Chains A and B, each alone.
Chain A
Amino acid sequence: MTTPSFPNPFQSLWLGHWCGLSGLAELPGQLMVGEAYGRLAGLPATLAARLVANAGLVRQFVADWRPALAAAAEAEASVRTAILSQASLARAQSLSENLRLVTMAWTEGAMSVFWSQPGLLGTPALLRLHEALVTLAGAYLRAADASLAGFCRDLTEHVEHHGLHHHEELLTLWAQAARKAHGEALRSGLAEAYAAFGNAFNPLIARSAMPEVTP
């Protein structure tokens, strides 16, 4: 793979973190994508990185659920029993885990707006924004955990009625759970977290020297 070069070290840190989370190294097409990272300055390369990172999440998600699905395929017991078994529920944590990864990737992305601003790193203003983002991510995670039972129920019903032949069926159910997670989050602290996030910009705004936005 071509050694990537990045416009600044913070961008490198961000992308490296993101790609590490997504298990990029094992994905097909890594050579082309690796070259894409080397030309990171443009949006197409950034979007390519997003696609690959997302594919990593998908692959991990399906892999996490495969044992439960195998149990459902082979068990003499019902699909419902297999999916709702203790082992399956343990595996169901992968939903939460995947949402955590997405959330963290997003959080890191949001922070990257400010990382490259001169004189900001390590300042109380930036730390406060980071705290607000972590709080925001926490609100999403609580909701993601709360939606696990619904995901198991939806998956069970889908398999019972339609079987499961393609990973996209699993992903559709996952997407539904993600949407539900957002709705849950709004009712369980996200609204407050949004406000706190907005307020966390005030110390940054109070610093008259930033952000540097001239072309």
Chain B
Amino acid sequence: MKPDLAALDAGLARYLDEIGLAAGQLAMAPPAQATGAARRLVHADHHARLWAYEAPEAKTAIVIVYAFVNRPHMLDLDERRSLIRRLLEQQISVYLIEWQEPDQTYAGLELASCVLEVLPALLQRATGDFGAKALPVLGVCQGGSLSLMLAARRPASLSALVLLVTPVDFQSGEDDLRRFTIGLDTEALRTNWRSLPPAILDHLFLCLKPFELRAQKYLHAHRLAERPQGLAEFLRMESWIFGGPRQSTALVADFVRQCYQNNALLRGTLRLHDRDIRLSAITAPVLNVYASADHLVPPAASRALAGKTAGDYQELAFVGGHIGIFVSERAQSLIASGIADWLFRRENITTKA
């Protein structure tokens, strides 16, 4: 066959017109806001906020431990893309831990105080609010690593542990973040920088897939001109990507040194405030959900947990990437229902107080 040049030229002209229109509409669009589900503030202090999303006829509740590296509204961007709403539909109430970012008066958390003091207190508040003695915990990415540390230190404080795209082996072969961080002077970082600006991490993430994230991603943006809803969704997602929080350099330095540089969580050499953190001390059943095309937490980095904990362990593979596991259409029908099926197959998931 031969190329159809007339069609090619006409299509390109149309494309350029539409891009101009889409860009103009985008430039005039109001700031994006997540259209989140109804929620109640259970607790707030300078470290974190604890939110409750209540399912009408909840069979249980789950406590989400989110990461520090970005904002948790990605879990509830809008009606169509919301892990939280999908969990509520499964009759699972949700408690969400939203970390506060450092400012002029608050330096932020260190890893040890986060895991040993703040997380247990927040978990206790959530279980108390739900009227339970223990609840399942759902750790997201870095929040999953923190949840593992918590579960290792206080095994009885949670009834089950669900991990989503969680790094356990920080030195797996395809882990590009490790390459960035392996030579980082963490002591200087902790001493000299009060907090880490989000733009630095933004560019690090872009640099892991520059062609896809800088160019390819925007190739079909001309279609936004025809769909106001699509434009709003696009803006909401991009606002989340480029609207991350500042981070405490104390916590970043601890996390990089212990996890990325020393791989201490997997090796069993992690110590926080002179206390050992061993994965083998985790007795809660674990559901480890990983994404097969995750470039930030490669499957091998998550799956290294197999055989390391003392309780029941299962894996759930999602065909997609690190963000797709939360916001893609396929994820909406698979992830929450997979978690619910796993939870409801177990006894004593919600231990009443």
By a beta-carbon cutoff of 8 Å, the part of chain A in contact with chain B is 27-30, 32-33, 35-36, 39, 42-52, 54-55, 57-59, 62, 66, 69-70, 72-73, 79, 99, 102-103, 105-106, 109-110, 113, 136, 140, 159-168, 170-171, 175, 178-179, 181-182, 186, 191, 194-195, 197-199, 201-202, 205-208, 210-211, 213-215
Contact = CB atoms under 8 A, between A and B. Distances in A.
Contacts of A102: 210-211, 214-215
A175 B242 contact: no
B7 A198 contact: no
A113 B23 contact: no
A208 B182 CA distance: 21
B227 interface: no
Given A113-B200, A178-B211, A178-B212, A69 B27 contact: no
Given A43-B238, A52-B19, A202 B24 contact: no
B312 interface: no
Contacts of B32: 43-44
A198 B27 contact: no
Nearest to A71: B3
Range of interface residues on chain B?
35 or more
A73 B221 contact: no
B180 A164 contact: no
B192 to A, nearest CB: 4
B218 A205 contact: no
B238 A106 contact: no
Q: Would you call the interface of chain A mostly helix, strand, loop, or mixed?
A: helix
B81 interface: no
Nearest to A70: B5
Contacts of A210: 193
A136 B179 CA distance: 13
A208 B193 CA distance: 7
A52 B242 CA distance: 18
Contact of A28 (B16, B185, B191): B16
A194 B179 contact: yes
A29 B28 CA distance: 13
Contacts of B194: 213-214
27 contacts: A28-B19, A29-B21, A30-B20, A32-B24, A33-B23, A43-B32, A43-B235, A44-B28, A46-B242, A55-B16, A73-B4, A79-B2, A109-B203, A113-B199, A136-B207, A163-B3, A163-B4, A165-B4, A168-B11, A175-B211, A179-B216, A191-B176, A195-B180, A195-B182, A202-B183, A214-B194, A215-B104
